[in-house]
Amino acid sequence: MESNGDDRKTTTYCVTGANGDIGSWLVKFLLERGYIVHATLRDLGNERLILFRADLQDDGSFDGALKGCDGVFHGVRYLTKSQYVQSKVVDPAIKAVRNVLGSCLLSKSVKRVVFTSSISSLKAKDENERWRSIVDQICKTPIDHIYVQSKLVSEEEAFRYAKERGLDLVSVIRTTVSGPFLTPSLSSSLQVLLYPITGACVFVYDILSGVNKRMGSIGLAHIQDICMAHLFLMEEPKSEGQYICCVDSIDMHDLMLINFCKDQSLIKAYVFFKKKLRELRFEYRYGIEEIIHPTIDASISFRFPTLNHKLKQ
């Protein structure tokens, strides 16, 4: 599926959840490189950007958006606090995957789907709660957590559905994604990174606490590296299966999380298996400092109240 400059003018990609943290950047990223983009939004310019209303729970609502597309980037936005508490998320997650992939098959034109998965589906401890030396894409110990379960079952269903029907599907396992953002509000991923500064929202504390319990530190990737990885895997002929996208991991202390864990000896930084993506000659452009500092700067420029208040104290 590799595209040169001329091919990009006629290559069409669909981005689902285009108003999410990754989706919004993917749309921008693809348009800047000359691709035609179909972007789907649950609720409803550019001549190369075509918007479609599509709901993951409405059968067939993606048919129009995927018609004529060469590839699909499928990712689901993080849950809001109210959805996290109130919704039954596992069954809808499975239905959403079947809905999108069914439309891909119906299109007759989609050659590959790049599915955005989550690091929350992985665990740095084995079944006996012993730390693993390296975390790779197969470290998926069952976790009794509704959000994590939804991510696990949706990815598993995506690969099962694709395999049974001969659909080419690749998964990008996202770590904590940060850097400049285009959305009007902070995603859960950004809130997790900024929590040591803001101290805001019990919901975010629960996420960070869960990450600490399962992992011991936080894996990071710049939003632009995440987008580049998605496009790279879409167009790399040899890509298959699952790929962890993580430039590095950071200890909680280095993230300024003071007094978070009473027994600090329990904190152990894990190591991600990043070789699989790099074996395809993918290169990260941004390091840890280039991820954290721009996130803080962008949050200040957007005048998010909690962050600005904390930094003035």
Q: Within its chain, how far is the Cα of 105 from the centroid?
A: 23
Position 25 pLDDT exceeds 80: yes
- Tell me the whole-structure pTM to 2 decimals: 0.81
pLDDT score for 171 = 94
Q: What token pair was written down for 42?
A: 């649950």
pLDDT score for 211 = 67
- Categorize the per-residue pLDDT at 197 as very low, low, confident or very high, splitting at 50, 70 and 90: low
Strongest mean pLDDT among 59-63, 102-106, 240-244: 102-106
Position 226 pLDDT exceeds 90: yes
Residue 116: closest CA among 69, 170, 163: 170
Q: What distance in Å separates the CA atoms of residue 252 and residue 256, rounded to the nearest whole number?
A: 7
Enzyme catalytic residues: 151
Residue 239: closest CA among 274, 282, 207, 198: 282
- Categorize the per-residue pLDDT at 309 as very low, low, confident or very high, splitting at 50, 70 and 90: very low
Helix (H, G, I), strand (E, B) or coil at 136: coil
Give me the mean pLDDT over the 260-277 stretch: 53
- Which sign does the torsion angle of CA 88, 22, 14, 167 carry? negative
204 close to 149: Cβ distance less than 8 angstroms:
no
Name, in order, each residue with C-beta under 8 angstroms of 1's C-beta and a sequence gap of 6 or more. Answer: 70, 71, 111, 112, 234, 235, 236, 237
Tell me the H-state helices in 33-89.
63-66, 81-86
Position 37 pLDDT exceeds 70: yes
Position 267 pLDDT exceeds 50: no
Residue written as tokens 């299109």? 107
Q: What token pair was written down for 190?
A: 């950004």
214 close to 143: Cβ distance less than 8 angstroms:
yes
Q: What distance in Å separates the CA atoms of residue 307 and residue 301, rounded to the nearest whole number?
A: 10
pLDDT score for 224 = 93
Q: What distance in Å separates the CA atoms of residue 54 and residue 35, rounded to the nearest whole number?
A: 21
Q: What are phi and psi of 32, to 5 degrees?
A: -65, -25
Q: Which CATH architecture has domain 7-181+220-246+271-286?
A: 3-Layer(aba) Sandwich (3.40)
DSSP state of 230: H
Among residues of the chain, what percentage have pLDDT more than 70? 61
Report the DSSP pairing between strands 248-251 and 217-222. Answer: antiparallel
99 close to 57: Cβ distance less than 8 angstroms:
yes
Sequence spans of domains, the chain = 7-181+220-246+271-286
Sheet hosting strand 176-178, strand order edge to edge: 176-178, 217-222, 248-251
Q: What distance in Å separates the CA atoms of residue 117 and residue 175, rounded to the nearest whole number?
A: 9
Give me the mean pLDDT over the 41-49 stretch: 66
